Structure 1
Amino acid sequence: MDKPPIIHIAAVSIPAFSHQASLLEFSKRLLHLHPHFHVTCIFPTVGSPPDATISTLHSLPPSLHVTFLPPIPKHHLPQHSPPAVQIQLAVSLSVPSLRNALETLRSTSSSSSPIVAVIADPFANEALEIAKELDLLSFVYFPPSAMTLALFLNLPRLDREISCEYRDLKEPIHIIPGESSMVTINGPDLPEHLQDRSSLSYDLLLQRCKRFDLADGFLVNTFFEMEEAAITALQRQRFSLFPIGPIAQSGSETGSGSGPGSGSGCVEWLEIQPPRSVLYVSFGSGGTLSEEQVNELALGLELSGQKFLWVVRAPSNESANAAYLSNEKQSNNNNNNNDIDSDNFKDSMQFLPSGFLERIRSKRQGMIVSSWAPQARILSHNSTGGFLTHCGWNSSLESIVCGVPMIAWPLFAEQRMNAVLLTEGLKVGLRPKAEGINGVVRKEEIARVVRDLMEDGEEEGNGIRRRIEELREGAGCAMREGGSSTKALSQVVERIENFGS
């Protein structure tokens, strides 16, 4: 049988590691299932590319290539604006070089297999306009949930119908009118970009949402069995939606997972812990807590009496996403020695409560890792019984794929919406209650929630474990041959093949 002709597509992301990692994982799955495809990923950059992204390039299949656009100097961006604004402005400043890259890939004179389609991150959807100019098929690859996509697609209508700030609304928001099966969202739980309608963040996002009409379809990192209500509601709105997830790293990933400071010691530590006994605590690649909250979290974990593995990042009193655009080495944060007994390590952890490291060591209760750890390996480990997470969608999916129940601690972006979906919609996690103007979660509340999740005798925790195990099985079924997500991806492939023929 003759081999099918090579089909070449371009995939455009943004200068943020979590989005780039998700797009690369999607591209690898596409090539695994449909090896006659070739993918060129195009990444705008701010300064130099993230070290974590560079480390992933060593394990890419030969038919997947990455092109970095000329970097946008940081001083060309407003220095005191939120990361979401800086990212979107950086993408906009990269449009001329993006157009040149796509024109080159489209040209038959420069490529034996010119691109026929473009897949764009929602925050890089200027690529949709360029695709139309070049007569290319175009899709949006949407890394977050279908519920978040529903909000984005309906934001222009909400903007017209609601006059006040969303956070001031007395009643919960029905993102799609008449869809009572969808989880409702209170105004303060909408993404941070929507909390001030006079801000540049809001205006940029609204303009991007209006540009979605140019897309030929939406590839969403979710699966039907998890978000049936949102997916069905969007399809009733006549959006061309393809749930192709969960796209998530597996516990066998390598990349940065070896060498000094790689966090490999924490996997060895897990090996000697009882099954499902350890709470994994991490706030993603960019999340930070205030110094007060770091102290309360440390004392709450200790007070819970439960074993924990905590990926600690230095506190920031300025922003919950202070590390999001930083280019620190994900696997080697100035401190190559994560030995809790090391004087160097203790010196780097001076912001933790006095005596905390010594107490958890003497009680053999926990392990502290600086800045980075092999998350997928940890979540898939038999000793891991819970995940205190910032509710980034990549992390949430990794937890679901591994069947690990969650404590939802959202920080920024759409993470509050994810927390609502996880705790109120899917009921696979608990959410601690904050207090005071600064929204600090106190140690007693932390200890209570940790015990409720981790202890076998707690009815609430048992129900959560049962439901996330069902969701884990659903995720596996969706990604198998003949599963809902595999079929959805095949439908996308068929559309691209027909367009290119």
Structure 2
Amino acid sequence: MEHETISAFEELSDKGVFCPPVYPVGPIVRPWSETEANHSCVRWLNDQPDGSVLYVCFGSGGTLSTEQTTELAAGLEACGHRFLWVVHFPSDKDSSATYFGTGGHGDDPLGFLPQGFIQRTKDVGLCVPHWAPQVEILQHRAVGGFLSHCGWNSTLEAVDASVPMLAWPLFAEQRMNAVMLEEKVGMELRLAGLRQKGNEITREEVAAVVTELMAGETGKAVRKRAKTVKKAAAQALEPLGAVEQGGRGNREQVERHSLQGGK
């Protein structure tokens, strides 16, 4: 995914500009765990049809405003598609408010969802407070899409599992990751208006883009592209795989390092 950067280092080196050897590694993701696969939300996924569930999670620290949480819930309800949502406490001041904790509101963020939402969506949705085993969820056969903040760990885990994404970046490098997924990798759909600071994303927009990803023609194309990207990720994890993808210079560096006794 960062081939252009690796190639730039090679080009500088060929021109005699000093730069240290660069060895692309990864994608580095947490391995699948049988213990985490016994989590209640994974057991819920076991009862869902293949590719039918949208996984919604904004990472360990991503936080929506109170109004935006309501709009997201309403959009998920309106679209009618199955979903698994990891819910954090809302914050009207800081989009990373739960990065180092729960947000200080108590024990149950589900209490901030619209009244009756959980009951009305119980046949198609599951809301989990605070945390869920993301690797096991993304690699589950029932998951067909990922509404994500596009943090780097989540991005790599989605690539590794070939799950197409809806980008909802909040802070740090997430906007850059979203652009890369859309323009270079081609496995992402972007919610309109995300770059307009201060504007809430409406329930109608949420419902429309979720439906497009899960059941539309664009969603089918993105899903196909995601499978291709997964194959490239798997190749990168093979011996010298990332070196082969990185280009000639990286192979020469590795071979030279090996001749010098490196491992």
User: Does TM-score exceed 0.5, indicating one fold?
Assistant: yes
Fraction of identical pairs, as percent: 45
- Which residue does the alignment assign to 2:46? 271
**Amino acid across the alignment from 1:352:** L
1:440 is the counterpart of 2:215: no
Cα 1:303/1:489, change in 2 over 3 Å: farther
- In 2, the alpha carbon distance for the partners of 1:482 and 1:495 equals 13
Report SS of the residue matched to 1:319. Answer: coil
**TM-superposition CA deviations, 1:37-86 (whole Å, max 9, x none):** xxxxxxxxxxxxxxxxxxxxxxxxxxxxxxxxxxxxxxxxxxxxxxxxxx
- In 2, the alpha carbon distance for the partners of 1:293 and 1:489 equals 48
Contact 1:297/1:442 (8 A) holds in 2: yes
- Which residue does the alignment assign to 2:28? 247
**Amino acid across the alignment from 1:466:** K
Q: 267-276 or 348-357: which moved more?
A: 348-357
Contact 1:480/1:486 (8 A) holds in 2: no
**TM-superposition CA deviations, 1:253-295 (whole Å, max 9, x none):** 65xx38xxxx811000000000000000001111111111111
- Which residue does the alignment assign to 1:301? 76
1:395 is the counterpart of 2:154: yes
**TM-superposition CA deviations, 1:418-467 (whole Å, max 9, x none):** 00011122110111113775121111111111011111xx2211110111
Note the C-alpha offset of 1:334. Answer: 6.8
1:355 is the counterpart of 2:116: yes
Note the C-alpha offset of 1:250. Answer: 2.6
**TM-superposition CA deviations, 1:205-255 (whole Å, max 9, x none):** xxxxxxxxxxxxxxxxxxxxx33223212332334321111011132365x
- Which residue does the alignment assign to 1:374? 133
**TM-superposition CA deviations, 1:356-385 (whole Å, max 9, x none):** 111001xx1100000000000000000000
* Structure with bigger RCO (C-alpha 8 Å, 6+ apart): 2
Note the C-alpha offset of 1:495. Answer: 4.9
Cα 1:399/1:305, change in 2 over 3 Å: same
Contact 2:110/2:127 (8 A) holds in 1: no
**Amino acid across the alignment from 2:55:** Y
Larger Rg: 1
Contact 1:312/1:368 (8 A) holds in 2: yes
- Which residue does the alignment assign to 2:165? 406
1:478 is the counterpart of 2:236: yes
Contact 2:167/2:178 (8 A) holds in 1: yes
Which segments of 5 or more consecutive residues in structure 2 lack a partner in the other structure?
A: 14-18
- In 2, the alpha carbon distance for the partners of 1:449 and 1:422 equals 16
Report SS of the residue matched to 1:302. Answer: helix
- In 2, the alpha carbon distance for the partners of 1:359 and 1:376 equals 28
Where do 1:36-435 residues align within 5 Å?
226-238=1-13, 239=19, 240-252=21-33, 254=35, 257=36, 264-326=39-101, 348-361=109-122, 364-434=123-193
- In 2, the alpha carbon distance for the partners of 1:485 and 1:440 equals 43
Cα 1:493/1:312, change in 2 over 3 Å: farther
Note the C-alpha offset of 1:322. Answer: 1.2
CA RMSD of aligned residues (A): 2.9
Aligned residues: 250
Report SS of the residue matched to 1:230. Answer: helix
Cα 1:306/1:404, change in 2 over 3 Å: same
Contact 1:308/1:367 (8 A) holds in 2: yes
Question: TM-score w.r.t. structure 2 length?
Answer: 0.85
Contact 1:479/1:486 (8 A) holds in 2: no
**TM-superposition CA deviations, 1:75-105 (whole Å, max 9, x none):** xxxxxxxxxxxxxxxxxxxxxxxxxxxxxxx
Contact 1:279/1:386 (8 A) holds in 2: yes
Report SS of the residue matched to 1:451. Answer: helix
Contact 1:242/1:489 (8 A) holds in 2: no
- In 2, the alpha carbon distance for the partners of 1:277 and 1:283 equals 20
- Which residue does the alignment assign to 2:16? none
- In 2, the alpha carbon distance for the partners of 1:437 and 1:481 equals 44
- In 2, the alpha carbon distance for the partners of 1:232 and 1:416 equals 23
Note the C-alpha offset of 1:323. Answer: 1.7
Contact 1:479/1:485 (8 A) holds in 2: no
Contact 2:76/2:83 (8 A) holds in 1: yes
Which segments of 5 or more consecutive residues in structure 1 lack a partner in the other structure?
A: 1-225, 336-344
Note the C-alpha offset of 1:299. Answer: 0.6
Cα 1:360/1:494, change in 2 over 3 Å: farther
Cα 1:352/1:404, change in 2 over 3 Å: same
Cα 1:489/1:358, change in 2 over 3 Å: farther
Report SS of the residue matched to 1:241. Answer: coil
Cα 1:489/1:380, change in 2 over 3 Å: farther
- In 1, the alpha carbon distance for the partners of 2:144 and 2:26 equals 23
- Which residue does the alignment assign to 1:460? 218
Cα 1:235/1:490, change in 2 over 3 Å: closer
Cα 1:473/1:437, change in 2 over 3 Å: closer
**TM-superposition CA deviations, 1:14-57 (whole Å, max 9, x none):** xxxxxxxxxxxxxxxxxxxxxxxxxxxxxxxxxxxxxxxxxxxx
Cα 1:491/1:267, change in 2 over 3 Å: farther
- In 2, the alpha carbon distance for the partners of 1:394 and 1:360 equals 29
Cα 1:444/1:234, change in 2 over 3 Å: farther
Cα 1:476/1:292, change in 2 over 3 Å: same
- In 2, the alpha carbon distance for the partners of 1:381 and 1:473 equals 17
